[in-house]
Structure formats: C-alpha cells, structure tokens
Amino acid sequence: MAMQETTYRDALKLALSEAMTADDSVIVMGEEVGRYGGAYGVTKNLISEFGPERVIDTPISEAAIVGAAVGAAMTGLRPVAELMYVDFIGMTMDQLANQAAKIRYMFGGQIGVPMVLRTQGGTGRSAGAQHSQSLEGYVMHTPGLRLAMPATVEDAYHLLRQALQQPDPVVFIEHKGLYTMKGVLDPDVEPAEWGRAKVLREGKDLVIVTYSRQVHHALAAAEEMASKHGIEAAVVDLRTLNPLDFDTIRPLVEQAGRAMVVSEGVMTGGVAAELAARITEECFDFLEDPVVRVAGEDIPISVSPLLEQNSVPTPDLIVETARKMFA
C-alpha cells in the first residue's frame, strides 16, 4: 500500500481492518461499535465488511465487555474490546487488573490473554469531569498490562497492529483530541520496535519526556524556546508506558543535565511522578537541577473550555516552566 495522508481515526480503522482480514480470530466488541461505527467513528463500516459475528454490539456494561473479552482471549480469539471512555475503566478493574493481568502468572504460563482494550482519554471536548480524565496511571500501576498511547497518525496504525500481535493484554489509549489530526502514513514501512521510544527533536539543553497529545504541545513549546529564548530542547515520545524505554531517555538526560516530564494525567501519584523518580534515581550524578514535572492539576476537569484548557499542560506552560529552569 502506498504512502498516504490520512487521519488518526482512519489510521486506527485501517489497522483494525487489516488485522481482521489477516486473522479470523480477531474480533471487535463494545458499545455501538457495529451499526453506529463507534463513539469516535473508528469502527465505521467494519460490520458491513466482517459481519455481526466479528463486530459485536454489546450491552452498556463495561464489566461485561471486558469480562467477555478476557474469556474470548483465553479460549483462542484475539478480541479488541472498546470502552467509550477511559473514565469508565474503574468498572472493569476486577476483569482487567485481577484477571487479564494475572492469568498468565496464575496458570503457570500455560495460557495468556491476547486481547486489546481500546479506549479514549484526555481533555479537549468540554465533556466534564466524568468524561475527560487521563487515567493511564491506573494501568501503568498494574503489572501484567501493556500500555500504548500513540501520539501520531503513524503510531496509531503501527502500534495498534503491534498490539494485536502481543501475547498479553494491551490497553491502548487514544487521545480524543487527536482523532481528526492528519498525517502521512506508510503502512509498508518498517515500524519502530514495540516498546521503543522516539526522539522527535534533538536538543542539548533540556530533555522533555512525554507521550500522547502532549508530544505535540512539547514540540510546539520546544520550537518557541529555541526561537525566542535560545533553549534547545530534545523531545522524547515514549509511545508505550509499558514497556517503558528508559534506555533512550538515559543518555539524553546524561548529556543535557536537565529533564522535564510532561503528562496530562494528574500531578500527584501520576505517570509524571514515576518518570521523574526514575530519571532522578538513574541519572542523579548527571543532573544540574531537579527533574521538573508539568502535569494536570489535582482537580476534577471543568466543563468550561477555558478552565479545562488550563487544567492540563499547554505549550505556554511548558515554555514558562523551562524558562524558570534556566533562570
């Protein structure tokens, strides 16, 4: 297939369609994934292509969706379950964290749970406190769950294809603010290795470690820092949080001596806290300053667009924080 311009949403749909064509064991299940085409349109028309036996509209029960997917994965299928919002992942934590994440260990390696749980997180739609959260920390905290968070059209496609080849459960969180973003996709190019971070911008003064939509904010901030303030910042897109590629982060931080972690999740006990602690432990002798976290406020997300926007990191906040590091 030739290189093409497409959207984040359509890159995900292409990955699903190709996987289902190549492997009859791949099924899709969730609320309104069939006739409606999914809450964000990712599964649109898949039911016409593969039929209701493989694109399954489920009741409105997150526990049932994930529980059925776990059972299907244990008995030979490779289900892709969709939760409409990551905010509802708490409804599934027994099935996901106590069952899917632990079955390989509990069965002595005799059986795994090769499923993908697709869900949507993040702010940007004024959807209110119960539909705007970034709860990847829940998943990262649970051993046995893999976690992918693509920031680009290219990674939306390739990471989903790779997730569908993993022997263990993968939680695949898509930022709801990225679905209409356009980019160039070459499905035939050799993708980056599963679990490998990408250095999207080189810089000798500061290393910004981030993922998902904040990658784009970090890149915009880095360009402004360079053009207006003479600060050259490297930007690392983690792509997956489990596996976590610290081997890419370490040498960059050792060279620059300063690091910033940017996450849309909350500040307290979040992903940014774990990454900052890890950088501090492993790069302490090379750090000129403490590792700085730029993360979401410890508050429920407001439905007000202005309050919502400023409750999570913005390019302006990243620039302001970086300038303070060099003051």
Give the active site residues: 62, 131
Rounded-to-integer distance, Cα 172 and Cα 205, Å: 32
What 3-state DSSP class applies to 7? strand
Rounded-to-integer distance, Cα 327 and Cα 312, Å: 23
Which amino acid, 116? Answer: V
Rounded-to-integer distance, Cα 18 and Cα 191, Å: 16
Rounded-to-integer distance, Cα 117 and Cα 34, Å: 16
DSSP H or E stretch at residue 78: strand 78-83
Residue ranges in 23-121 assigned as alpha helix (H): 46-50, 62-74, 93, 103-106
CA distances from 313 to 87, 124, 198 (A): 19, 12, 21
**Residue by residue, what is the 3-state secondary structure of 296-325?**
ECCCCCCCCHHHHHCCCCCHHHHHHHHHHH
Return the biggest CA–CA distance within the chain: 61
Please name every residue paired with 174 in a beta bridge, in sequence order, or none if there are none. 120
CA distances from 43 to 54, 99, 240 (A): 12, 27, 23
